[in-house]
Amino acid sequence: MMQRGKICQGQKCARCRQTIQSDPAFDDDLWYHRSCLEEGQRALQRAQELATRFRLESARTLTPRRRPVASSLRDAASQEQ
């Protein structure tokens, strides 16, 4: 029957932890199902895009605090009296 794939016999996918029986993919010293590897690369790409967008947005919306913490503490204290 199938000869290919013997090299990874008994290997477990580094992403989903299932034994790889077909469609092996080797990356970064780890075995994956080919579909898992592709999914992982897509997820990584999405995460990097999100991280870039988040950094840009937080830099843009980073404004000075409207009032110092001390004054809001004083407000809270005066309300207690």
Choosing from 8, 13, 24, 31, the residue that interacts with Zn ion (CB under 5 A) is 13
Q: Report the C-alpha gap between 59 and 51 in whole angstroms.
A: 12
Question: Which amino acid makes up residue 42?
Answer: R
CB of 76 to Zn ion, least distance (A): 53
CB of 53 to Zn ion, least distance (A): 28
User: Which 31-50 residues touch Zn ion, going by CB under 5 A?
Assistant: 33, 36
Helices (H) and strands (E) in the chain, counts: 2, 2
First to last CA, the chain: 85
Task: With contacts defined by CB under 5 A, name the span among 29-37, 47-55, 58-66, 72-80 that binds Zn ion.
Answer: 29-37
Residues lying near Zn ion in the complex (CB under 5 A) are found at 13, 15-16, 33, 36
